[in-house]
Amino acid sequence: MATGSNSTPPARRGSWYQRLFAAAMASENERDEESYGGRKHALLADLHGDILEIGPGAGPNLAYYSRDIRWHGLEPNPAMLPYIQREAERLGLSIDLREGRAEQLDAPDGSFDAVVGTLVMCSVRDPQRTLREILRVLKPGGRYVFIEHVAAPRKSVSRRIQGIVKPIWKLVSDGCEVDRETGATIQAAGFSSVQIEDFRVETPIVAQHIAGYAVK
């Protein structure tokens, strides 16, 4: 990944499961707007410069960005890439989109004005390593912007239910772990400041959410 380019290398087709999951995520874009639209507008619309989005899925965030950004995306599921490209074309955006994982960002230190991740930390293989990479590639004063579903409060009925369904949920939801305490992980990652808002959505199992930003 190199800042300043606008390209999308040819994507692998992906496994049948990756293609099925990508199609399902693309069909959820309208519902995504209902659950997160207001917060996405507040967090993303004022970003400028070089923006890296990790795990952009089918591209539901693209509509919220200012048109003067230079958008770079890193998506682990190759079957998602055509959906993101089509959404970018619909919006008239030039993008630099690559296949890859957030635990190892192919970018120099201090490359980006902001790193964005929405509903991503639940499924990365190593959240701590991912956050170290985010810190590394951010410019001084740059922002990591996030919206994530998180574990229900400890000892609550919802938390017990999350523990019960976790193995099956992870299997059918592309590695998503429903009970990660992502807010605490971000707080401990070494950012100079962190702003987090707790909120809930009407979604069984993953109702508890956080949104906010962390400054390098």
CA distance 79 to 76: 9
pLDDT < 50 stretches in the chain: 2-6
Look up residue 45 and give its two tokens.
Answer: 């619309």
Contacts 24+ apart (CB under 8 A), 20-27: 21/77, 21/79, 21/174, 22/58, 22/77, 22/79, 22/80, 22/83, 23/79, 25/57, 25/58, 25/80, 25/83, 26/58, 26/83
Question: What is the C-alpha separation between 163 and 18, in angstroms, rounded?
Answer: 25
Mean pLDDT score of the chain, rounded to an integer? 91
Q: Class assignment of domain 16-150+180-215?
A: alpha beta
pLDDT tens for each residue of 110-162: 999 999 999 999 999 999 999 999 999 999 999 999 999 999 999 999 999 99
Among the listed residues 109, 119, 118, 169, the one whose alpha carbon sits nearest the alpha carbon of residue 140: 109
Listed by start position, the domains of the chain span 16-150+180-215
Residue 116 backbone phi and psi in degrees, to 5: -120, 135
Prediction pTM value: 0.90
